[in-house]
């Protein structure tokens, strides 16, 4: 074997090993530590951060390069050992398996962030070289999908609705099952703003908040994801996950919220929840920031909100059961500010003015007082007394309602 061919084969094996290790490093990359390096101003970390926003593209390019160098090594080896191709192939395969697969992957798995950041310029080069191949594969894949879409789908939405209606008439399906099927089809008509949590009820943290503040907020709200903002809530810059914070709770007590953020997903108010559900599945995310026509924060919407629209209210693993109306005694109740007036009237057998334009107990108080009351203020009439228990500068969170008529009748 000539020295030139030997060097070519050696370079192919080394590049294949580097790409195999890169694949493992990208797949096991610690995103929180990477964002910390970005905040420290490391240019190579920023390169990696931008690249892994779409990791599938990086992985595909790495695999293309890895296969190309592996095949090249095999071709050059076979050309040098004509008549002994089988034996040379087995020897090369063993060398590749040990030195271009097992060892580099083990090394990169152990030192993933450090090594991936170190070879960031090499990753950029690989993407530039192999991106044309990726575009060609994407084009072929898209063409096949378009062909598949042209095939007639026997089970159209109209046919399924017909079968559901027919089954309900013949008692083959329960009323509840039929409602769920119809709600699924109606997802394409319901806008995000109808099911979102409005901005006044969003629980979020400032970018400069330290870990102790973040843990306190998570403990009070029982959510697993919270928006992070700079200056005001209209400038949400990311989302913070409790699992990331807990990993550094003891180790990195000086960290700030901005160092944990995940890139937020923004959607307009008018987006239909059927389309949003598809995007949630495609992007493997559970929460989106809803923005209005001016770009301001309108609210947040979660996968749970969509599922509740389909199946009714559900309770996740982090959410404690919480009633909007809690009885303190026979005539005294603790009520959430967002509780519907209709619900209060039905459960407590009380009546509110019908001519007024309000839907919640909070709306009734604001309509009556014409301002946001402070904690301790009282609204009273002949039938009930309402005391403000919880309030902020923007909203009324909780009130105590006492039924006066029933107390008098007992006396």
Q: What helix, strand, coil percent values describe the chain, rounded to 5?
A: 55, 15, 30
Cα separation, 200 vs 203, whole angstroms: 9
Cα separation, 256 vs 222, whole angstroms: 20
Q: Token digits for 73?
A: 């090594």
DSSP output for 75-93? HHHHHHSTT-HHHHHHHHH
Contacts for 6-13: CB closer than 8 Å, 24+ residues apart: 8/72, 8/76, 9/73, 9/76, 9/77, 12/69, 12/70, 12/72, 12/73, 12/76, 13/69, 13/73, 13/95, 13/96, 13/99, 13/100
Contacts of 279 (CB under 8 A, 6+ apart): 265, 267
* pLDDT of 95 strictly over 70: yes
Query: What is each CA distance from 243 to 107, 211, 240, 283, in whole angstroms?
Result: 26, 12, 9, 19
Q: What is the mean pLDDT of the chain?
A: 79
- Percent of the chain at pLDDT > 70 equals 79
User: What pLDDT is attached to residue 180?
Assistant: 55
CA 204 to chain centroid: 15
HEC sequence for 243-287 = HHHHHCCCCCCCCEHHHCCECCCEEECCCEHHHHHHHHHHHCCCE
DSSP output for 107-121? HHHHSHHHHHHHTHH
User: What pLDDT is attached to residue 391?
Assistant: 79
* pLDDT of 150 strictly over 60: no
* pLDDT of 137 strictly over 90: no
Q: State mean pLDDT over 73-88.
A: 83
Pair type for strands 236-241 and 225-229: antiparallel
Contacts of 192 (CB under 8 A, 6+ apart): 267, 268, 269, 270, 271, 272, 273, 276, 288, 290, 301
Q: Express each pLDDT in 173-224 by its tens digit.
A: 455 555 555 566 566 678 888 889 898 888 899 988 887 788 778 766 667 8
Q: Express each pLDDT in 309-355 by its tens digit.
A: 777 654 444 443 446 788 877 888 888 888 888 889 888 888 888 76
Q: Report the range of poorest mean pLDDT among 139-148, 158-167, 255-264.
A: 158-167
- Do the Cβ atoms of 280 and 229 come closer than 8 Å? no
- 104, with CB counted inside 10 A (0-12, 13-18, 19+), is buried
* Sequence-ordered alpha helix ranges (H) in 170-324: 175-186, 211-221, 242-247, 273-283, 303-311
Q: Is the dihedral of CA 131, 135, 140, 141 positive or negative?
A: positive
DSSP code of residue 101: I
With bands split at pLDDT 50, 70 and 90, how would you rate the model's confidence at 118? very high
Pair type for strands 205-206 and 225-229: parallel
Q: State mean pLDDT over 2-17.
A: 89
Q: State mean pLDDT over 123-152.
A: 69
With bands split at pLDDT 50, 70 and 90, how would you rate the model's confidence at 136? confident
């Amino acid at each position: 074997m000539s020295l030139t061919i030997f060097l070519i084969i050696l370079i192919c094996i080394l590049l294949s090993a580097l790409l195999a290790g890169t694949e493992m490093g990208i797949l096991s990359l610690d995103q929180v530590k990477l964002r910390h390096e970005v905040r420290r101003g490391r240019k190579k970390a920023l390169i990696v951060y931008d690249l892994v926003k779409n990791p599938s593209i990086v992985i595909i390019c790495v695999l293309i390069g890895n296969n190309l160098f592996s095949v090249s090594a095999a071709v050059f080896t076979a050309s040098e050992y004509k008549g002994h191709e089988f034996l040379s192939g087995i020897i090369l395969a063993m060398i590749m398996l040990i030195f271009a697969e097992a060892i580099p992957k083990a090394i990169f798995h152990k030192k993933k962030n450090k090594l991936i950041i170190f070879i960031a310029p090499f990753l950029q080069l690989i993407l530039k070289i192999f991106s044309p191949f990726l575009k060609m594969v994407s084009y072929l894949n898209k063409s096949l999908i378009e062909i598949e879409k042209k095939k007639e789908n026997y089970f159209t939405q109209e046919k399924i609705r017909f079968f559901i209606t027919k089954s309900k008439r013949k008692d083959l399906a329960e009323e509840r099952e039929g409602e769920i099927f119809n709600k699924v089809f109606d997802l394409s008509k319901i806008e995000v703003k109808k099911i979102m949590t409005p901005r006044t009820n969003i629980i979020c943290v400032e970018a400069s908040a330290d870990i102790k503040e973040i843990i306190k907020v998570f403990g009070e709200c029982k959510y697993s994801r919270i928006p992070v903002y700079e200056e005001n809530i209209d400038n949400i810059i990311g989302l913070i996950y409790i699992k990331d914070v807990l990993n550094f709770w003891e180790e990195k007590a000086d960290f700030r919220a901005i160092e944990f953020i995940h890139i937020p997903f923004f959607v307009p108010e008018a987006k239909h929840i059927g389309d949003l559900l598809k995007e949630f599945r495609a992007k493997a995310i559970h929460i989106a920031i809803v923005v209005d026509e001016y770009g301001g924060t309108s609210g947040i919407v979660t996968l749970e909100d969509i599922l509740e629209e389909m199946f009714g209210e559900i309770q996740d693993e982090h959410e404690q059961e919480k009633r909007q109306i809690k009885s303190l005694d026979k005539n005294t109740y603790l009520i959430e500010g967002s509780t519907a007036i209709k619900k209060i009237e039905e459960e407590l057998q009380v009546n509110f003015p019908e001519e007024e334009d309000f839907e919640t107990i909070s709306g009734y108080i604001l309509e009556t007082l014409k301002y946001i009351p402070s904690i301790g203020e009282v609204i009273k009439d002949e039938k009930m007394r309402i005391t403000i228990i919880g309030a902020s500068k923007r909203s009324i969170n909780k009130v105590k309602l006492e039924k006066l008529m029933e107390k008098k009748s007992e006396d």
